[in-house]
Structure 1
């Protein structure tokens, strides 16, 4: 897991890595079913450059310079654009969150031209407004972002004014009535490593392949360092390699649960994030809709050894929220040991995932980092 409305949050999960080629006048890009690492060496984009994205083939004659980022209850797209140094191409951004893990991120996002003010309203850019902006590229978290029934401009309408459209690859199946089996599989198998797909896509479209590869490598190196430390610790404890069970809970998103309980983030993307930190999800294998019907009884019965507490709005007192949750579920091992860690946007798929993995691992495996 991965823009964020006040009523729901689901940052776009990006599932399989893409095979990318950039040679000749018809250089192409299309998703495949088997994960593949980024290209080992960056190659300059040869325009015209053709991309097949969620079933739509588009040819870029040059790097985009008038980019609009739709909300889509996501933060992944705008943070990827910033991480790749593409800030100056953005003419309107609708993605933002209430609180960030990386110092200075709020300032970077708020500095971008905004379509709806610098608050996490969750409102997206309606068709008439989007078309009037005359973008040459629109970035979206899912196919639902181009649903005319929701007042959004369609990909066809945008193409008619010369605007290309890119959906974060593994989110193709969301909001797409004719999603292919491969697209559905991509969504179901999302993991924190999937973000490389999006970096690679933007890297080739904007001709910043070297930066995209560098970003992927930096994240990999940070995560590998964490995993090496956890594995080294495990080697000193033969016969006790059980992973602590963790729960990602966001009190500020209690509106997502029918009983007003803290939102519990589940699904393959969150499972993979916890696994990378040397833990396992207390509700492993549940899809991301699980939180809607989650009951207090299910929470009480869960084996929670580490509480991962997600921040949603600036000014939240997460220490007080942790105390409140632990008082409600004193039987948890996490409650007995006051074992919790706080996160913000790094919990959702995107360039900040290494921060989350590092923070969770240090609480779940303190001896590995002493």
Structure 2
């Protein structure tokens, strides 16, 4: 299955882990070319990339995500970043927003896509460039290509779930995609042990939730980003995204799973009105008042069980690819199965 990857300024994206963020590596986890375990080779989007030492001049492109920069921070790699274009403005992880805001930007004038153009990218002299999707390396969009960057000594990376055709992701997104990115970064930067610790804690917390709700009736949930209009009034309803796996682990199911192969469904008011919605998942995208957004939807659709029971939860980066998916699982489970917690 090919899933259309929408790249609005929001998913600002496309994002952390079990502990508070840190931007410092330990002396045991930093090192150079003589460090055991290097060189390492990874496969990414059909090509192999060899790292003779951990990258030290990392550039993180925007692409509508905070997954990649959040993963680096969670692994203690913030000091490797020389320019970061990702931001979102909200996070379930304490201090994550401030940690991202404190990263260097490289004093780059971003293009109209709010990303780093080719000339500016080359001028940063990176040794590793991370894009949130493979389209971040398209020449026709004004970006430095993977070949351009290879010529100046920079390896490149996009999450495996965002390889393939421009504007698509392959397969059905899941939390395993977040774990794969963490493992890739762990290998690339020589912090594999830290990556496994982050993943293990996330898995432990998710398992604790599934143990609590596993025997309870599945609740039907609707995922919506009220501030992200891409078409009609209900053009930003969660379709085929990582949230479906998150919902399943929280004891719920996406009401509109199957309504589209795309990341978001574009629905009519009539379709939304007829849907069974036991709980509402409001995704905060630059929203002045997400609680007010939930109440407005409840006023519009009072027939929903979610409206009758005032059952909703506001999330931000944890609902997307990234190292904080366990936080979304926990908060959704508490909202849809309040008597179990």
Q: TM-score, normalised by structure 1?
A: 0.80
SS of equivalent to 2:37: coil
**Could you tell me whether the CA contact under 8 Å between 1:137 and 1:165 is conserved in 2?**
yes
User: Do the aligned residues in 2 keep the contact of 1:76 with 1:348 (CA within 8 Å)?
Assistant: yes
What's the offset of the Cα at 1:111? 1.0
Could you tell me which residue of structure 2 aligns to residue 311 of structure 1?
Answer: 284
Residue 254 of structure 2: aligned partner: 281
CA distance in 1, matches of 2:307, 2:200: 37
Cα distance in 1, alignment partners of residues 109 and 332 from structure 2: 29
Matched, 1:103 2:109: no
Q: Once the 2 structures are TM-superposed, how far is the Cα of residue 9 of structure 1 from its aligned partner?
A: 6.1
Structure 1 position 52, deviation (Å): 1.9
Secondary structure in 2 aligned to 1:293? strand
1:160 aligns with 2:151: yes
What is the CA-CA distance between 1:286 and the residue it aligns to?
A: 3.7
CA distance in 2: counterparts of 1:7 and 1:353, whole angstroms = 17
Rounded to whole Å, the distance in 1 between the matches of 2:139 and 2:109 is 25
Map of 1:266 onto structure 2:
239
- Residues matched between the structures, number: 318
State how far apart, in whole Å, the 1-side matches of 2:298 and 2:117 are: 42
- In the TM superposition, residue 193 of structure 1 has moved relative to its aligned partner by 2.5
For 1:9-28, what aligned pairs fall within 5 Å after superposition? Answer: 10-11=13-14
- Indicate if the aligned counterparts of 1:4 and 1:71 stay in contact, CA closer than 8 A: no
The gaps in structure 1 that reach 5 residues or longer are 13-43, 177-183, 235-240
For structure 2, the residue ranges without an aligned partner over 5 or more in a row are 16-34
CA distance in 2 between partners of 1:58 and 1:333 (Å): 51
User: Relative to structure 1, is the Cα distance of residues 8 and 116 closer, same or farther in structure 2, using a 3 angstrom cutoff?
Assistant: farther
Shift of 1:160: 0.4
| Range 142-151 or range 278-287, more displaced | 278-287
- Per the alignment, residue 150 of structure 1 pairs with 141
Pair 45,124 (structure 1): closer, same or farther in 2 beyond 3 Å: farther
Find the partner of 1:202 among 169, 182, 185.
Answer: 185
Superposition deviation, residue 109 in structure 1: 0.3
The residue that corresponds to 2:176 in the other structure is 193
- Does structure 1 residue 242 correspond to structure 2 residue 217? yes
| Residue 291 of structure 1, CA deviation | 3.8
Decide whether aligned partners of structure 1 residues 309 and 116 sit closer, same or farther in structure 2, where only a CA change above 3 A counts: farther
Q: TM-score, normalised by structure 2?
A: 0.87
Check the 8 A contact 1:4/1:72 in 2, yes or no.
yes
